[in-house]
Chain A
């Protein structure tokens, strides 16, 4: 029990453990996947933003480049007649005119010292003059931010332009001004329709081109005011990182949060300027997609987790159940083993007691006999009792032996051809004395047995029926009745099989319900005072059950206290090859009288199948009436079958009455399950012509009735053997003259010529001196002086002559099987026991000479043996 709890606890804990680890693994997976997808989105965003920035930068570059190229074209297309070396009026006019035509708001000369001289338009000044001045001095093209007169921001762009001023100053560049809106509109920054917005700032954070919703001049101020802390990164840190990136001319990407929404920020340097393009993309849309995806995958994860948990739970539950079943099974097996052990122990003690009782009797009786050795009567009595006790003891020991054979699995069935009729006859004859001793009524019924020959183990079948019957006898009080019946039905196993139902019924003491449940268990015996006196090991029924099981049958028991017991055995037997004679009787009319209607009907059916019309009656009175009627109609029955034990008028009285009325013509046969020898005289006197013993099989009826089917003069007579062996010569080895004369006398009648050899040696000599083929056979006595039959046979068989293999037939007063075996071992062909029986010797000699039967067939080469 403790072990079971331990196992259960272990299983529960491991289920919980596995579930928890499953959930943990899934949580980790969800988190990890989310992180991964976030990272991926970030990377994707960066790539996307970088490309947007690049696109805008390129756009910007193209546009600036176009504008600068326009300025350059302005310079290149100065008419040749204009004096380009000096700052002439024509040049100024040309430049002004051309620049205006190209949409520049103003145009100015730029000097080395950073001052502007306006050709036309408003005065501008550079907001960040150093880099611009440096670039101009190096003859590079550049764009920068300047401030107009109204402090409005303008884009200032310059190209190298080397012209000598009339006042002697050296102009290095030509600078055009464009409104800043031009940039923002051309670059279409901050388009309200797109998710993405960009703006251009300078290193100090001031806007060159601001986004549509910006109210501040400096982007850093905006960061400080609006940007929220995200992933532990505050506004100041973001500014620092941004400035560092700008300083080192690197692209910068970061996550920012604005108005509670995450955005991706990307900053890159713009060409030909000190400007930086910042693009911001709100994460909202992307995030929603990601969140959707995350949500979906979370759902999937949760569902799969749940599925796995459910499967786990199911598997565990099944495992639990299996485990529990196994435990229960083990427990049951253990209990059974204990039970078996206990009953074996009890059995042994009972058994010892049971064995001691007859053994004590034997020892005691033995002592009494010894003490009274001269008192013959006393000794006889003792020996009788010793005999009885020994038989009882032997029965007990046989049972135990059988059981141990069964328990060790050594009992096997020996299936052979069995005649149910012979089997039942022998059982009935065995049980009859016991029944008679207890003065019980006994009856045997055979219903519809059409296959008398079946294949089964006859010894075991006998054992089953004898066990049941002797139990019935044992447990039925004196005067009770016992019934055994055999019944054939169709077998479910098919055409080649017959199902035989056997029933053994008594009206004895019966059994309790509880005992019926364990009657077939080994080593059990109803332990009540009633059966204490009854002998037996209690193994009989277990053995019976085992045999029936081994034969593939079933056994059932019905019983109640005081009402008797009924055992039903159902067995399927293989139908043996039909080898019965063609059983047909002449067209008789018969009468069957028996108090069992079913038996009457079955007998009628059996008789019908052998060609006899039959009527039946249930008692003597009715039978007499029927016989009388037939007599009046001059259609007497040919044979009447009468049961001995009939209610009212019994068989013998009925027969007497019938004889009185009918005379002696009609044969009346008495049928009975009892031994009829006792009542034979009385029955004969009452006019009974013969006896038929139950069970009434078809063949019983056929062979029983056959003698009456022939005319009285042809009743069986001892057959006169008439076979002609004339001309055949036999050498007879026999040491006794009288025996020789008898044999000679008898065999001469068959036309045989005999020579006498008085012992084995003479026999050998006579044979060796005879011509080849002179003798047709040797009849060999075994016990002879000088040389015995075995030796003589050996010598003859060893001779080098063609007829050395002639038939040699042993003739001996012994008929032990080992003698017969020995004859065969010494090469004799057949064995015949004394006294010389003409029929037997004719049969054997016919077989010798004609090769079987009495038909004249030449001896074939097939070796034949007769045992």
Chain B
């Protein structure tokens, strides 16, 4: 699985990221690093604890990371979620967080698979 294929699976825009970072090595490095990012856990915990300020920040951070990495699909859902949480809880937030979770799973699954292949080579 190439990085490009990985991006396709994630629903991301490889060309854009490449244009910005100019290096596959860097892209790969950051993409793999995404797995270590704690924002998602923070989001899940905050939502469960109904700490919506923190949840907003977590969603916002995910949005920022996705912007940097060109993960367009997760970017879209996290962006909607952060908008919904911007001024505290709103009814949509609960629906949107599910979407974020789904997208996050898809994303991390794809990255893990890619990581596995990288290690194999």
Contacts and interface: CB of A to CB of B under 8 A. Distances in A.
Looking at chain A's contact residues, the main secondary structure is loop
A441 B57 CA distance: 52
Contact of A736 (B22, B56, B61, B70): B61
A813 B68 CA distance: 9
Query: Which residue of A718, A746, A781, A813 has the most chain B CB atoms within 10 A of its CB atom?
Result: A813
Contacts of A735: 61
B60 A739 contact: no
Interface string B11-33: 00000000111100010011001
Given A745-B26, A783-B57, A783-B61, A739 B19 contact: no
B14 to A, nearest CB: 13
B67 A835 contact: yes
B20 A741 contact: no
A841 to B, nearest CB: 11
Nearest to B31: A738
A332 interface: no
Contact of B37 (A738, A813, A838): A738
Contacts of B64: 736, 739, 781, 783, 812-813, 834
Contact of B68 (A718, A720, A738, A814): A738
A836 B57 contact: no
B20 to A, nearest CB: 6
Given A736-B39, A783-B60, A837 B65 contact: no
Interface in B32-89: 33-34, 36-37, 39, 54, 56-57, 60-61, 63-65, 67-70, 79, 82
Interface residues of A, number: 23
B67 A736 contact: no
Given A746-B21, A813-B63, A835-B20, A739 B68 contact: yes
Interface size class of B (residues with CB under 8 A): 20 to 34
Query: Which residue of B30, B34, B64 has the most chain A CB atoms within 10 A of its CB atom?
Result: B64
A785 B37 contact: no
A835 B18 CA distance: 12
Given A718-B19, A742-B30, A783-B57, A737 B37 contact: yes
A738 B63 contact: no
A739 B33 contact: no
Contacts of B57: 783-785
Interface string A709-721: 0000000001010
Contacts of B70: 835
A836 B20 contact: yes
Given A738-B33, A813-B60, A837 B20 contact: yes
A822 to B, nearest CB: 13
Nearest to A811: B64
Contacts of A835: 20, 67-70
Interface in A181-199: none
Interface in A803-853: 812-814, 834-838
B81 to A, nearest CB: 12
B67 A738 contact: no
Contacts of B79: 813
Query: Which residue of B33, B63, B65, B82 has the most chain A CB atoms within 10 A of its CB atom?
Result: B65
15 contacts: A718-B19, A735-B61, A738-B65, A742-B21, A745-B29, A746-B20, A783-B57, A783-B61, A783-B64, A812-B64, A813-B64, A834-B67, A834-B68, A835-B70, A836-B68
Sorted nearest first, the 9 A-B pairs with minimum C-beta distance are A813-B64, A835-B67, A834-B67, A835-B68, A783-B60, A813-B63, A834-B64, A736-B61, A742-B68
